[in-house]
Amino acid sequence: MSVKHAIRRGLELGRSVFQLGLLKSGGRFAAKLRADRFRVGPSARTVQPQAFLPSRYRYFRTSLAGLAAQLQSAGFRRRFGGGSPRNRAVFLAFGLGVGLIEQQLEDDSRSAATCDEIQAVFRKKRFQSPFKPCAAGYKLEDYVIGNQVGKGSNAVVYEAAARFAPQDSNSKCSLVQLGEDEEETARSPTCCSLRTFPMVIKMIWNLGAGSSSEAILKSMSQELVPAGPLALKLEKEEITLDGHFGVLPKRVSAHPNVIRVHRAFTADVPLLPGAEEEYPAVLPARLNPAGLGNNRTLFLVMKNYPSTLRQYLEVSTPGCRQGSLMVLQLLEGVDHLCRQGVAHRDLKSDNVLLEFDSDGCPRLVITDFGCCLSQSDSNLQLPFNSMWVNRGGNASLMAPEVATAVPGCGVVIDYSKADAWAVGAISYEIFGQPNPFYRAVGLESRKYQEKQLPPLPSGVSADVQLVIRFLLRRSPSKRPSARVAANMLHLSLWGQKALANHDSVGMRKLADWLLCQSAVVLLKGCGGPSGNMVEAELQRSFLSNLDLEDLRTAVGFLLYGREQQQQQACILSV
């Protein structure tokens, strides 16, 4: 709003006051307004704006909670009702200030309303899992199990196909063809294997949970956090826990960057291919007399992905834009978990799966929730009163506030930004560099200095480098959340025009960009014939989680980082 317009509003307000003869003492009037401000509980009658204010100013009487009344009271006490130039200037300044405040509040109100409307539209179009509901698949015998595809410290994963699923008549490869056409298998084993075995079965090793279904589900409940609504049979939704019926722990909703468990059931441990050679010690005594495992354990059925992020990065280096999209996907997945009160606590490239969309862009999916923190209060704070409290998985990628925590009375570890820190470390791997917190570089999260962080490749955009540097700040209070960091990347990738003016980014300009972005995403639909384009999913995720304060914080981080970069460039040039 122009200064001329603000002055005109101030003069109009002053003229209204003078015309109604309100030059007498305002003590009683101001006291009444202050009483309205601090009144607690419902009032016997609704307090209406004072009639002497023009209609455009009645907004302040109710929304500024007495601010204008306090200014008026101060003015009356100073007896500025006279006609001296000084008093007129004071009164004019009052009107000018009110006009400026009004414009700022109007802009903020409109921007917040725009964000809420966009969020409501895109939350109606939530991500849906591609697997169709089915009433079968709750027994191990319902699946054909293939080769081993992965093994970790607490589980082994095998490729699988459902016996109850009809074969796709258009598929180029089936179970029968796989056995007959060895030449095709040798030429493209991964592609053929995925068509034949579209799912995997994860068998958790049971070393101390007992062999009852209730004990297994209770002990391994963290693995069920990404489970779908039909993953367990209805009678298993309530299980007997210590003599009482308890509901299984929280489960996160579907998200394109978080694994989905489609079936979860307990069954007797079978002798699968390679079991006696690779993990004999965890087998039950009936399969290996020297084995330490229990007879039954938990099995999870999930989608089969071509590789892990680590395997992909060993043979490929994504381009700078693809790498930015990959980092953004990890942040979107972490933010989705944080919003639902879950901290992964073991985020590393081995625990991120990868596939490709119809345009060949990698899609990343966070998996392996065995170490996650999932509490009923959703505050992501863990009391750390003993050294026996489990702080999470991979010690190399523990955030500084987790790695340096010392157990004691009243000590609490806050995990709200710990996974975001791990994304910053993994980003080095995505851009073709060694992870600085692995042995190759040798930094330790508990004592590194931010200036010791190695530089990223020069081809990585300045904004992306800023985001990664901010994510790896030691102090969580100076570190952006996953949502804010994701917003920074969204603005960098698609909102450069909204950030063109470095000195002042108006919320109205950002709101206009958000409306244009929403229209573009809605017109593009799901992003292609197969509906699986990564960029479309990311833009929908961003728009469905719009929040004015988070967006404002992201802009602040970006502008501050750019200013710091410019200052450093000036120093180096000198």
Long-range contacts of range 524-532, CB-CB < 8 Å, 24 or more positions apart? 527/357, 528/357, 528/358, 528/359, 529/358, 530/357, 530/358, 532/357, 532/358, 532/363
Instruction: Give CA angle at 421 (419, 418), nearest 5°.
Output: 45
pLDDT of residue 102: 56
Q: 17-31, 199-213, 478-492 — which is least confidently predicted?
A: 17-31
Say whether 240 sits in a helix, a strand or coil.
Answer: strand
DSSP string, 251-267: -PPP-TTB--EEEEEEE
- 291-330 residue pLDDT tens: 999 999 999 999 999 999 999 999 998 999 999 999 999 9
pLDDT of residue 289: 93
The residues facing 363 across adjacent strands are 355
Q: What are phi and psi of 149, to 5 degrees?
A: -120, -10
Residues 140-304: name the CATH superfamily.
Answer: Phosphorylase Kinase; domain 1 (3.30.200.20)
> CA–CA separation, 80 vs 103, rounded Å?
26
pLDDT of residue 353: 97
The residues facing 266 across adjacent strands are 298
pLDDT of residue 113: 80
Residue 405: pLDDT band with limits 50, 70, 90:
very high
pLDDT of residue 89: 54
Helix pair angle (418-430, 462-471), 10° resolution: 140
Q: What are phi and psi of 146, to 5 degrees?
A: -105, -140
| b/e per residue 232-252 (b: at least 16 CB within 10 A) | beeebeebeeeeeeeebbebb
> CA–CA separation, 46 vs 61, rounded Å?
13
pLDDT of residue 337: 95
Are 357 and 533 in contact by the 8 Å Cβ rule? The answer is yes
DSSP string, 366-408: E---TT-EE-TT---EEE--STTS---S-GGG--HHHHT----
> CA–CA separation, 89 vs 453, rounded Å?
55
- 541-570 residue pLDDT tens: 999 998 888 988 998 898 888 888 788 778
Q: How far is CA 412 from CA 222, 331, 446, in A?
A: 21, 24, 17
Say whether 229 sits in a helix, a strand or coil.
Answer: coil
Residues 6+ apart with CB under 8 A from 174: 167, 196
pLDDT of residue 519: 87
pLDDT of residue 209: 84
Q: Is 414 annotated in the active site? A: no
Cα distance from N-terminal residue to C-terminal residue, the chain: 40
The number of helices, as runs of H, and strands, as runs of E, in the chain is 19, 14
**Mean local confidence (pLDDT), 175-195:** 45
> CA–CA separation, 250 vs 227, rounded Å?
9
443 or 54: which leads in pLDDT: 443
Name the catalytic one among 346, 357, 419, 463. 346
**Mean local confidence (pLDDT), 72-80:** 52
140-304 and 342-573, same CATH topology: no
**Mean local confidence (pLDDT), 496-511:** 66
Indicate if the pLDDT at residue 181 is higher than 70.
no
By percentage, how much of the chain surpasses pLDDT 70? 68
165 or 460: which leads in pLDDT: 460
Token pair belonging to 423:
């994304």
Are 231 and 224 in contact by the 8 Å Cβ rule? The answer is yes
Other residues' Cβ atoms within 10 Å of the Cβ of residue 416: 17
pLDDT of residue 461: 93
Q: How far is CA 202 from CA 152, 158, 304, 308, 515, in A?
A: 10, 6, 11, 15, 43
> CA–CA separation, 470 vs 517, rounded Å?
26
Closest residue by Cα to residue 294 from 200, 384, 204: 204
Are 435 and 426 in contact by the 8 Å Cβ rule? The answer is yes
Say whether 301 sits in a helix, a strand or coil.
Answer: strand
Q: 258-272, 400-414, 488-502 — which is least confidently predicted?
A: 488-502
> CA–CA separation, 399 vs 406, rounded Å?
14
Where are the strands (E) in 12-107, listed by range? none
- 21-31 residue pLDDT tens: 444 444 444 44
Residue 157: pLDDT band with limits 50, 70, 90:
very high
- One-letter amino acid at 478 equals K
Q: CATH says 342-573 is which class?
A: mainly alpha
Q: How far is CA 441 from CA 347, 435, 450, 454, 475, in A?
A: 19, 7, 14, 9, 21
Could you tell me whether strands 362-366 and 342-343 are parallel, antiparallel, or unpaired per DSSP bridges? unpaired
Indicate if the pLDDT at residue 44 is higher than 50.
no
Instruction: For tokens 């625990």, name the residue.
Output: 351
**Mean local confidence (pLDDT), 73-96:** 53
> CA–CA separation, 511 vs 116, rounded Å?
11
- One-letter amino acid at 254 equals A
> CA–CA separation, 338 vs 346, rounded Å?
14
pLDDT of residue 239: 61
Which stretch, 64-68, 195-199, 240-244, 473-477, has highest mean pLDDT? 473-477
Q: Where are the domains of the chain?
A: 3-121, 140-304, 342-573
By percentage, how much of the chain surpasses pLDDT 90? 45
Indicate if the pLDDT at residue 428 is higher than 80.
yes
Mean pLDDT, the chain, integer:
78
Indicate if the pLDDT at residue 131 is higher than 70.
no
pLDDT of residue 58: 42
pLDDT of residue 95: 52
Other residues' Cβ atoms within 10 Å of the Cβ of residue 203: 22
Are 395 and 388 in contact by the 8 Å Cβ rule? The answer is no
pLDDT of residue 30: 42
Q: 33-42, 211-220, 429-438, 497-506 — which is least confidently predicted?
A: 33-42
pLDDT of residue 566: 80
pLDDT of residue 191: 59
**Mean local confidence (pLDDT), 252-269:** 94
Q: How far is CA 353 from CA 150, 208, 276, 329, 362, in A?
A: 11, 28, 27, 12, 10
Burial of 202 (0-12, 13-18, 19+ CB in 10 A): buried
Token pair belonging to 237:
């939704």
Residues 6+ apart with CB under 8 A from 330: 257, 347, 352, 364, 366, 423, 426
Q: 150-164, 210-224, 522-536 — which is least confidently predicted?
A: 522-536
The arrangement of strands across the sheet holding 352-356 comes to 307-308, 352-356, 362-366
Helix, strand, coil content of the chain in percent (nearest 5): 45, 15, 40
> CA–CA separation, 23 vs 83, rounded Å?
11
Instruction: Compute the half-sphere exposure of residue 415: CA atoms within 13 Å on the CB side of its CA.
Output: 31
Q: What are phi and psi of 277, to 5 degrees?
A: -90, -35
